[in-house]
Structure 1
Amino acid sequence: MSTAAARPSSSCAATTSSGADVVVDAREEGMRRRRRLFLLAAMDGNLDLLARMAAELEATARGGAACVRSTCGRQALHLAAANGQTDACRYLVQDLAFPVDAPSSPGETPLLLAATFGHTAAAVYLLDRGASPRATDGDGETSLHWAAYNGDRELAMLLLSRGADVDAANPRGTPLHVAAAGAHPAVVDILLRHGADPSKVANCVFTPLVSSLLGGSLECMKLLIQAMKFDGDTDASLYSNRSICWLHLGIADDALSDAWACIRMRPDWAKGYYRQGMALCSLQDYAGASDALLRASKLDPDDDTIAEALRVVSECAKRVSPSPH
């Protein structure tokens, strides 16, 4: 009886330098190759290769092409959408019946990936095929968050017209926070027109107005200030935030008014007096500014920002004081 190991007819053998046989299952190698080429074709928008590999996978793979995933857990439709391959998306959805909202392993939908990478045409196609504009990934990101991040006004408008949640919140905040931080006034304007809340607080700290300070867009600040409507339940921090935005816009009188409102609500909070001091400094009332900042310093003696402001106000006062004779 022969002692040679029986080899499957679909395998091939190679011999290592040590003389040991290494058996490679040709069927498994062929399957991996077809899967890889199928995913690459989706990424590249190569429709001929995509169709050919899909046909081979349907004939040879359990579950067919729809079960093929990349190492990061994305199917062909996710990869086509992420790379803006609209024609490939169309083929996968309409010819191969890929579910338009199927999540990847990390929870991303094809629409969310198209929005993430700024591929508006692919996103429009997916929305037209019924993709949900409210779908989120594992971190709570929505397509509207990504449209706001990319400054994509067209996509933001389309998503909102299809029912996207204008105030969807995640650790980054709402889409309005994201657009303001990214200095995208056109998107900020669209979001506000669709009812976005300009006073929404993220991470217990940030309002969209504070985010606009980080983004440095005066136009975003103007839009947000105009949209904010304060009432009796307004937190003092909102007046504080608006005060500094008025200062950035060069409107010191309104900055001072909001600082006073902040102080009335929280007379023991250093931030209100600091805002008051900076507004008075802008109005060149250096004595008043110094008094306000000294009160702020007493309430928060360890705040280096207040100490630096006191130094600046003192220098400004010296420059405008008449020289002694």
Structure 2
Amino acid sequence: MRRRRDVQIPEALELLMGKDQDKWPEEARFIVTASYGDVRSLKEIAKSMDKKGKGIEVTVANTNFVGTSALHAACESGNLPVIRYLVEELNMDVNKADTMRDFTPAMHAAFNGNLPALRFLADHGANLQYAHKKITILHGAIEKGQPETIKFLLSRGVRDDSESSFMTPLELAAFRGYPIILKMLLEHAADPNKHILQFTPLEMALSNSSVPCVKLLVQAGADVNGSRSFHPLAKAAEKGLTEAIKCLVEAGANANAPDTFGRLPIELAAEYGTWEDVEILFPVTSAIPTVPDWSVHGIISHVYMEVLEREDPEIVKKRKSDLKRQAGDAFKKQDYLNASVVYTQALKVDHFDGILFSNRSLCWLRLGEGEKALDDAVKCVELCPKWGKAYYRKGAALMHLKEYESAYNTLSRGLELDPESEEMEKLFWIARVYFVCC
């Protein structure tokens, strides 16, 4: 496992002030000595700094440079003799954070993989649950890829579900693709489905193509069908992760769940993966009506021809125009389900047409599918951020879901872009009333 390394304090000072330490402030040389020197050298510098005669011990304990004390520096480098002297003889506070990054001595030790120093601090009262803004000591050790440090922290009772607005430890391990660390956390009963960010640990592992992490999470009971905005099997097929596809299919992942653009995993496998990927998905995929030869060879040939057609602008333009007309005809007949199906086919032709997402969002809304309507409206806003109607579609979906405050804010933005829209203004005032009253 590759360890992630930060610039150390002495290196940072050298970059800041040059290599000639004789030209540095005494406090800076003092900090470097705490990092790499011995106790005797530390005392000698402190003696020369003790201009007011307060004593070497007082000077050592109270000297810092840019908010970093000798203890922080020694813990970062793992200089155990200096750490012992500072804590056992001078009684320096093992939980006092620096003023530069708000890191405690234990965080400096853990983030740099200095396990002996971390053990010493823990034995002398260091708070291992300390959280720096968005991350804990456990998060830091995971980020740097330090399994031994993580093993120690877990053995000392550090929770693997530590509160953080950043992400759960398991999310971070999956995001970084650290199967050894992921296994440790799962063995300590980490919830494979808990997440703070939009995506679950399984979805993060797939996004980063970490098949070992995918397998561990599935074995631990991760939801193999994901969320409404992320489909694990589709992502595995799109990335050509054969072993992940096998694992997900065996765990019961739905092979008939399309991605945002309406593409089934088997279609993605035919375009981006291998023949083997298509063979794995074929027995668990329902026949696609638009594929005339429903066989492994027939699917691959059909997708290949679709890809070729997408490379011809004229074919794409005509195909999309025909599909939009068919969808519009179905919508006029109030056949909203068929209209949504045809709009999905059109999105396969052009993934980046915001109007198609807008139209499909309206179909979903008419069918009472609020969440699907919102998903499409959000995509429409992403593609057309200056189009007022995109915000109207999103606001309407939010109103259906009774998320009145979000609807009010969304429609307010829409009116800024299109102040003449009567339908949006009407919905805006309805949202305002519900927001205020509810």
List gaps (5 residues or longer) in structure 2: 1-23, 280-295, 307-340, 353-438
Are the counterparts in 1 of residues 35 and 70 from structure 2 also a CA contact under 8 Å? Answer: yes
1:145-178 CA-to-partner distances (Å, cap 9, x unmatched) read 1221232221111111222231235465222222
Distance change >3 Å, CA 38–CA 157, structure 1 → 2: same
Are the counterparts in 2 of residues 145 and 178 from structure 1 also a CA contact under 8 Å? Answer: yes
125, 129, 144: which one aligns with 1:150: 144
Mapping for residues 124-143 of structure 1, pairs under 5 Å: 124-138=119-133, 140-143=134-137
Q: Which has the higher helix share?
A: 2
224, 232, 242: which one aligns with 1:241: 232
Q: Which residue of 2 aligns with 1:65?
A: 60
Distance change >3 Å, CA 302–CA 171, structure 1 → 2: farther
Are the counterparts in 1 of residues 202 and 214 from structure 2 also a CA contact under 8 Å? Answer: yes
43, 46, 55: which one aligns with 2:38: 46
Distance change >3 Å, CA 67–CA 91, structure 1 → 2: same
105, 111, 115: which one aligns with 1:120: 115
Q: Which residue of 2 aligns with 1:194?
A: 188
Mapping for residues 75-86 of structure 1, pairs under 5 Å: 75-86=69-80
**2: CA distance between counterparts of 1:44 and 1:254?**
49
Distance change >3 Å, CA 77–CA 271, structure 1 → 2: farther
1:81 Cα offset (Å):
0.8
Percent identical across equivalent pairs?
27
Q: Secondary structure at the match of 2:41?
A: helix
Note if 1:216 corresponds to 2:209.
Answer: yes
Partner letter of residue 159 of structure 2? D
Q: Which residue of 1 aligns with 2:179?
A: 185
Partner letter of residue 169 of structure 2? P
Distance change >3 Å, CA 180–CA 261, structure 1 → 2: same
Q: Secondary structure at the match of 1:148?
A: helix
1:275-311 CA-to-partner distances (Å, cap 9, x unmatched) read 35335772243655769x997543565426xxxxxxx
1:51 Cα offset (Å):
3.1
1:165-200 CA-to-partner distances (Å, cap 9, x unmatched) read 312354652222222233321111001111222223
List gaps (5 residues or longer) in structure 1: 1-31, 264-268, 305-325
Note if 1:227 corresponds to 2:220.
Answer: yes
Q: Secondary structure at the match of 1:201?
A: coil
Are the counterparts in 2 of residues 259 and 272 from structure 1 also a CA contact under 8 Å? Answer: no
1:123 Cα offset (Å):
1.5
**2: CA distance between counterparts of 1:46 and 1:301?**
69
**2: CA distance between counterparts of 1:100 and 1:168?**
21
TM-score (norm 2): 0.52
1:100 Cα offset (Å):
0.7
Q: Which residue of 2 aligns with 1:303?
A: 351
Are the counterparts in 2 of residues 225 and 242 from structure 1 also a CA contact under 8 Å? Answer: no
Q: Secondary structure at the match of 1:133?
A: coil
**1: CA distance between counterparts of 2:121 and 2:229?**
41
Q: Which residue of 1 aligns with 2:369?
A: none
Are the counterparts in 1 of residues 145 and 178 from structure 2 also a CA contact under 8 Å? Answer: yes
1:258 Cα offset (Å):
2.1
TM-score (norm 1): 0.67
Q: Which residue of 1 aligns with 2:104?
A: 109
Mapping for residues 235-314 of structure 1, pairs under 5 Å: 235-237=227-229, 240-241=231-232, 244-245=235-236, 248-250=241-243, 252=245, 255=248, 257-260=252-255, 262=257, 270=260, 273-278=263-268, 282-284=277-279, 285=296, 287=298, 296-299=344-347, 302-303=350-351
1:57 Cα offset (Å):
5.9
